[in-house]
């Protein structure tokens, strides 16, 4: 059905639509609610860490320490502001992605067909319905052409419903349903909460977000550490209170111990990294509809990709025509300049004529556009370009991979039928004998071997106005073959090579002839292996299909419904599957795969809403770039979480050990708040900005079943944390040791124990901590999975030494430097030093504190040299 013109119907004007949008409100059942600043702050204040900080502020005020209470309150506001800014950045990224991926519809405004967001649709609008599109509102059909709609959302009935303008019931269409086939034009009668689905109270935009394995593992770890923090807090309060008899100061010590143990950064990191990662993916042309899919994308082991439009450019051009006798067909090839010229041969003229008649009058499919382009050159001046009336269509179906158009001829001699489709389907329509099939099969194989997409064309006559149920009932005459070239995307071979180096197996899926698929696969760089065809797939048992898929990289003559079985077989084999798709029938396979990727340019609404991600440019190389970004995101997330685990060991140790050893406490809630200002930017900004390792695509995919922290990773993080704690302990000992003071006095004339000061000890410990923190950031950034021999060899081939970065992380340098500057300011600015109970350090004690913060870095450097 052609899109209605202004003469047929104009629809609302743009001004009328805007006024009605103001009065009726947006076409949303449940408008999206942004988290306000106040709501985000209230949510953060309910977190245990902030509750402890506020409790500490109240205790300071109860003790009469107004200066310390106000200083801690300022630190609380600073930590709160930093966290709100980071979460706001993540929220803005998600909102931007939501706007990019929102549902859009074709609407007639002022006689012009335009694309608008579905939320802008109002009563009286005229919506153009087409296959695969979601109906955006309730309305009444004005035109329908073989329109079938899936209304299972409302009725629970899985079979599509035939729609027509003849009866009131069949002329009604409803929001949330999908067009399965055909086209139509509807007038909008109700929008938003006034639609049928709105009255039921169901929101189509809501998605059930299930916790990912990473989130579940992290939640378990946080619960364990929170329980330990509670026990430790109780123990510290009882020990210090019974020892001193002063329970409010003892409560401060307990709060400091609990704050030191609580890994409150984990939930923040789990929100920020995926959200900002989704923003990075969007810059690579991959829109994320389900944030949780980012965790899985980088772990892909099998990538199932459509050939047409993903691996190839979907810019088809007719390259060859074949007519005559199947045993010795006559060929006509496209000139070198790509411009078809006229021909006197009527057989070629009829072939082009009926290829056009079997296509849409106003084509948007690249293949049909190529047929019209062929006709403009080949049929110029022949009188074979017609302006007939299309009276009946027989669409492509799984049972018959061919389509037919019935036209009312202007010569008054009945109706002309034109058919095009897969050669074997058109042979069925023409009732070929086995011998005829064999002859033309050789011609098909020869053209397909050149990488051409081969279609057959036939024509017939029908004098009656009664149409049979199937095109098989017509008498067709075979006209010949058309071979179309769809060029490979130039970036695909390199992307394929990256997949092979990364341990990702690519399976190309196409509906084309096996020989065509093999030729394109060779050009793309896929391994040359036997092709799995759709007929063979149907004949295989599940076990046999599992085994067959292990040995193939090309699937041809595959119907969309067969993609689901391919995905299920790969899942049974334990693969992590990423699947691409664009059609209505691709939706089950997209939903079944670990990561479903829908096409943005040519994909249907059904496919996009079933998928986890949307490919903006439909380019295979964008998927591979997305996998690279996914690996980077997860790698940096794991480094950040290792850093968080390690950094809490020295914080907890410094807070707890002095109390257990009957020494004055070193870290109070004031100092824990200061440390939070150091740790929060480090675990989010520094690690999120970390470039990927240059060999990130030279490693095998990670095992999604492996725990977030294996024994090795936890042992390594624990070792780094203990080394940092040892450095802080060394600073504590050096600041209080008489022997060490005598050595410095004899050697350098320094005499700091003439007036012993616990504030000086705290300053040295804090300086050693912040230096150790900078070293830990560097070490954690450099932490990476071990490479096997094969991947080390691949790294040598690519020219990137194992473990090197593709760029320098200036953000981490700024974060570490800012932390050092903040602590130095706290120590040397008298106002802050007094509030924080710190004391300025002379040159020797400062140098000693810096040296005490370096053991972790020195040990790491030594171990790295030994490994090499």
Which sign does the torsion angle of CA 632, 633, 637, 640 carry?
positive
Which sign does the torsion angle of CA 581, 585, 591, 593 carry?
negative
**3-class SS at 600?**
coil
Which residues, including other chains, have CB under 8 Å from residue 119's CB and lie 6 or more apart? 26, 27, 28, 102
Cα angle for residues 477, 478, 480 (degrees, 5° grid): 150
Beta-sheet pairing, 104-109 with 126-129: antiparallel
Q: Which residues of 591-630 are buried (b: 16+ CB within 10 A; e: fewer)?
A: bbbbbbbbbbebbbbbbbbbbbbbbbbbbbbbbbbbbbbb
Q: Which residues of 267-303 are buried (b: 16+ CB within 10 A; e: fewer)?
A: ebbbbbbbbbbbbbbbebbbbbbbbbbbbbbbbbbbb
Q: Report residue 311 as tokens.
A: 């691996």
- DSSP3 helix / strand / coil % (the chain, rounded to 5): 55, 15, 30
**3-class SS at 381?**
coil
Residue 606 in contact with residue 178, Cβ under 8 Å?
Answer: yes
Residue 484 in contact with residue 455, Cβ under 8 Å?
Answer: yes
Which residues, including other chains, have CB under 8 Å from residue 408's CB and lie 6 or more apart? 388, 389, 391, 415
Q: What is the DSSP letter of 829?
A: S
Please report, for residues 214, 397, 534, 587, 633, the alpha-carbon distance to residue 560 in angstroms, rounded to integers and kept in the order given: 32, 11, 10, 9, 32
Residues in a beta bridge with 516: none
Treating both helix axes as pointing N-terminal to C-terminal, what angle do 669-681 and 48-62 enclose, rounded to 10 degrees?
A: 150
Q: Report residue 806 as tokens.
A: 């593709």
Query: What distance lies between CA 121 and its chain's CA centroid?
Result: 28
Q: What is the DSSP letter of 340?
A: -
Active site positions, annotated: 306
| Gap between the Cα atoms of 455 and 429, Å rounded | 13
Which residues, including other chains, have CB under 8 Å from residue 190's CB and lie 6 or more apart? 123, 137, 138, 139, 175, 196, 198
Q: Report residue 614 as tokens.
A: 């949307």
Q: Report residue 93 as tokens.
A: 């990224």
Please report, for residues 1, 9, 104, 111, 384, the alpha-carbon distance to residue 5 in angstroms, rounded to integers and kept in the order given: 12, 6, 21, 6, 25
For the chain, how long is the longest CA-to-CA vector?
119
Q: What is the DSSP letter of 109?
A: E
């Amino acid at each position: 059905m052609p899109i209605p013109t202004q003469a047929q119907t104009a629809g609302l004007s743009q001004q009328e639509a805007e006024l009605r949008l103001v009065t009726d409100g947006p076409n949303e059942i449940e408008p999206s609610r942004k988290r306000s600043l106040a709501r985000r702050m209230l949510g953060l204040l309910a977190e245990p860490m902030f509750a402890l900080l506020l409790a500490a502020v109240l205790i300071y005020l109860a003790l009469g320490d107004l200066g310390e209470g106000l200083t801690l309150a300022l630190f609380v506001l600073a930590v709160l502001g930093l966290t709100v800014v980071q979460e706001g950045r993540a929220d803005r990224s998600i909102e931007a992605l939501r706007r990019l991926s929102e549902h859009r519809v074709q609407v007639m405004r002022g006689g012009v067909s335009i694309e608008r967001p579905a939320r802008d649709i109002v009563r009286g609008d005229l919506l153009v319905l087409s296959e695969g599109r979601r109906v955006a509102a309730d309305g009444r059909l004005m035109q329908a052409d073989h329109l079938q709609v899936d209304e299972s959302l409302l009725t629970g009935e899985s079979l599509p419903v035939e729609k027509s303008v003849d009866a009131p019931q069949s002329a009604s269409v409803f929001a949330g349903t999908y067009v399965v086939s055909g086209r139509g034009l509807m007038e909008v009668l109700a929008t938003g909460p006034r639609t049928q689905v709105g009255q039921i109270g169901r929101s189509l935009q809501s998605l059930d977000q299930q916790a990912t394995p990473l989130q579940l593992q992290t939640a378990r770890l946080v619960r364990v550490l929170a329980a330990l923090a509670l026990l430790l807090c109780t123990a510290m309060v009882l020990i210090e209170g019974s020892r001193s008899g002063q329970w409010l100061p003892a409560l401060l010590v307990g709060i400091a111990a609990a704050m030191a143990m609580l890994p409150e950064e984990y939930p923040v990191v789990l929100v920020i990294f995926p959200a900002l990662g989704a923003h990075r993916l969007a810059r690579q042309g991959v829109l994320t509809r389900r944030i949780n899919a980012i965790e899985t994308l980088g772990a892909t082991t099998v990538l199932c990709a459509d050939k047409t439009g993903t691996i190839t450019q979907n810019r088809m051009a007719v390259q060859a025509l074949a007519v005559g006798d199947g045993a010795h067909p006559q060929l006509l090839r496209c000139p070198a300049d790509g411009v078809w010229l006229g021909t006197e041969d009527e057989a070629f003229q009829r072939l082009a004529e009926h290829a056009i008649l079997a296509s849409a009058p106003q084509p948007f499919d690249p293949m049909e556009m190529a047929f019209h382009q062929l006709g403009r050159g080949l049929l110029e001046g022949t009188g074979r370009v017609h302006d007939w009336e299309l009276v009946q269509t027989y669409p492509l179906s799984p049972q018959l991979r061919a389509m037919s158009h019935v036209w009312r001829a202007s010569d008054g001699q009945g109706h002309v039928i034109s058919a095009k489709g897969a050669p074997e389907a058109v042979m069925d329509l023409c009732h070929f004998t086995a011998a005829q099939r064999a002859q033309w099969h050789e011609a098909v194989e020869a053209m397909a071997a050149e990488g051409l997409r081969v279609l057959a064309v036939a024509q017939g006559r029908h004098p009656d106005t009664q149409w049979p149920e199937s095109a098989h009932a017509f008498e067709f005459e075979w006209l010949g073959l058309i071979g179309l070239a769809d060029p490979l995307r130039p970036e695909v071979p390199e992307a394929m090579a990256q997949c092979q180096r990364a341990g990702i197996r690519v399976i190309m899926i196409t509906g084309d002839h096996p020989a065509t698929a093999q030729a394109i696969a060779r050009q793309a760089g896929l391994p040359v292996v036997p092709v799995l065809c759709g007929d063979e797939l149907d004949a295989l048992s599940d076990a046999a299909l599992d085994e067959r898929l292990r040995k193939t990289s090309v699937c041809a003559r595959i119907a969309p419904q067969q993609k689901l079985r391919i995905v299920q077989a790969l899942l049974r084999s334990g693969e992590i599957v990423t699947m691409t798709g664009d059609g209505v029938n691709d939706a089950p396979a997209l939903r079944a795969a670990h990561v479903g990727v829908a096409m943005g340019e040519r994909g249907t609404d059904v496919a996009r809403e079933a998928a986890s991600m949307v490919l903006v440019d439909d380019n295979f190389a964008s998927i591979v770039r997305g996998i690279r970004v996914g690996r980077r995101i997860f790698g940096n997330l794991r480094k950040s979480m290792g850093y968080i685990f390690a950094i809490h060991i020295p914080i907890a140790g410094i807070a707890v050990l002095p109390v257990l050893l009957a020494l004055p406490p070193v870290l109070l809630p004031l100092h824990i708040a200061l440390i939070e200002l150091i740790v929060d930017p480090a675990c989010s900004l520094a690690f999120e900005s970390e470039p990927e390792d240059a060999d990130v695509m030279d490693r095998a995919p990670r095992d999604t079943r492996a725990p977030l922290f294996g024994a090795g990773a936890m042992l390594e993080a624990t070792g780094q944390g203990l080394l940092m704690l040892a450095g802080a302990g060394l600073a504590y000992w050096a600041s209080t040791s008489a022997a060490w003071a005598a050595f410095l006095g004899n050697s350098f004339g320094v005499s700091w124990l003439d007036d012993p000061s616990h504030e000086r000890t705290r300053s040295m410990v804090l300086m050693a901590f912040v230096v150790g923190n900078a070293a830990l950031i560097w070490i954690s950034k450099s932490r990476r999975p071990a490479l096997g021999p094969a991947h080390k060899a691949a790294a040598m081939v690519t020219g990137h030494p194992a473990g090197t970065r593709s760029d320098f992380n200036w953000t981490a340098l700024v974060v570490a430097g800012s932390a050092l500057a903040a602590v130095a300011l706290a120590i040397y600015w008298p106002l802050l030093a007094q509030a924080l109970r710190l004391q300025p350090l002379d040159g020797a004690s400062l140098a000693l504190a810096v040296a005490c913060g370096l053991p972790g870095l020195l040990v790491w450097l030594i171990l790295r040299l030994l490994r090499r």
